[in-house]
């Protein structure tokens, strides 16, 4: 099994956004069961909260009655503040009840929207690629969500280039493979409303090549688009290989000529680790 460093950037972003809303989900497959659970338990949970609030409110109201019953000018003056505090607490309890139901409803809507979203589809695709690449041999290293950054601008295809985000990068004795994962629908491709995945991958691969060359000398870097859906046709001059996810391992293993000795392989691995998003 290959060493896997990093995780799906798309899934981490989704999980972090959900966590900020109080929803802790470890994998996309957990979205549907959690949504079903929240829907099934919504009314019982709201009813329990209402009962809990009603009991607390009743206790505060009884305390107000007791405070009103106590006589004496000085005591009445002090109790006015206590009664005011009880009334404020009652208002806060009613607000807590409304907020509890609203939060549950918002969580259900958020998960319902998420399960059909393009973001979740993309995250699933990245996780599938990581799971597939993890089956590569022991001496291979799979990096996910790498963000390369150069100290100066370089030029590629007539444009300035200084940084790049890479979905997956595989370090092997035969060189480096830069992989961009796409899972697009036919409708999305036909819309034309997207960045060119082939140019995106070539730019990232060239920046990777330039960075490694400056540190270790020339290392071969190959470009792959892992396709889990529909993709537009690659330009005729494109050097990007388009592969279905099940084809990735076979293609990478096809390159058997070693170019990196074990010690150099380790040095490159240590260098690339610093660019993995924490």
pLDDT averaged over the chain?
89
Same domain, 144 and 82: no
Domain-located, residue 139: yes
Comparison of pLDDT for 268 and 158, the residue scoring more: 268
- Residue 206 pLDDT: 92
- Among 87, 114, 141, the domain-final residue is 114
Domain-located, residue 4: no
pLDDT value at 30 more than 90: yes
- Residue 235 pLDDT: 67
Same domain, 196 and 240: yes
> Domain total for the chain?
2
- 213 is in which domain, residue-wise? 119-273
Domain-located, residue 27: yes
Same domain, 154 and 222: yes
Q: How confident is the model at residue 194 (pLDDT cuts 50, 70, 90)?
A: low
Same domain, 174 and 93: no
CA distances from 229 to 4, 8, 115, 219, 224 (A): 24, 18, 17, 31, 15
pLDDT value at 185 more than 60: no
Tens digits of residue pLDDT in 66-112: 888 877 766 777 888 888 899 999 999 999 999 999 999 999 999 99
Domain-located, residue 267: yes
Same domain, 85 and 185: no
Comparison of pLDDT for 106 and 182, the residue scoring more: 106
Same domain, 216 and 92: no
Same domain, 256 and 210: yes
Comparison of pLDDT for 270 and 151, the residue scoring more: 270
- Residue 145 pLDDT: 96
């Amino acid at each position: 099994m290959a060493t896997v460093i990093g995780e799906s950037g798309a899934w981490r972003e989704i999980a972090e956004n959900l966590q900020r809303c109080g929803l802790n989900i470890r994998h996309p497959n957990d979205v549907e069961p959690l949504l079903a659970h929240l829907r099934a338990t919504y009314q019982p949970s709201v009813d329990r909260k209402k009962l809990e609030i009603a009991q607390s409110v009743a206790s505060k109201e009884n305390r107000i009655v007791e405070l009103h019953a106590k006589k004496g000018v000085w005591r009445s003056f002090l109790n006015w503040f206590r009664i005011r505090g009880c009334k404020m607490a009652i208002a806060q309890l009613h607000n807590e009840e409304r907020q509890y139901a609203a939060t549950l409803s918002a969580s259900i809507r958020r998960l319902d929207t998420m399960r059909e979203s393009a973001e979740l589809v993309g995250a699933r695709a990245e996780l599938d690629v990581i799971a597939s690449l993890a089956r590569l041999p022991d001496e291979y290293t799979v990096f996910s969500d790498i963000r390369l950054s150069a100290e100066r601008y370089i030029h590629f295809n007539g444009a300035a280039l200084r940084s790049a985000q890479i979905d997956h990068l595989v370090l092997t004795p035969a060189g480096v493979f830069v992989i961009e994962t796409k899972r697009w629908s036919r409708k999305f491709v036909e819309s034309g409303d997207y960045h060119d995945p082939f140019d995106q991958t070539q730019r990232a691969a060239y920046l990777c090549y330039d960075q490694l060359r400056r540190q270790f000398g020339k290392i071969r870097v190959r470009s792959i688009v892992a396709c889990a859906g529909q993709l537009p046709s690659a330009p005729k001059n494109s050097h990007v290989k388009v592969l279905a996810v099940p084809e990735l391992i076979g293609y990478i293993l096809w390159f058997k000529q070693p170019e990196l000795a074990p010690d150099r392989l380790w040095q490159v691995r240590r260098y690339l680790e610093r660019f993995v998003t924490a």
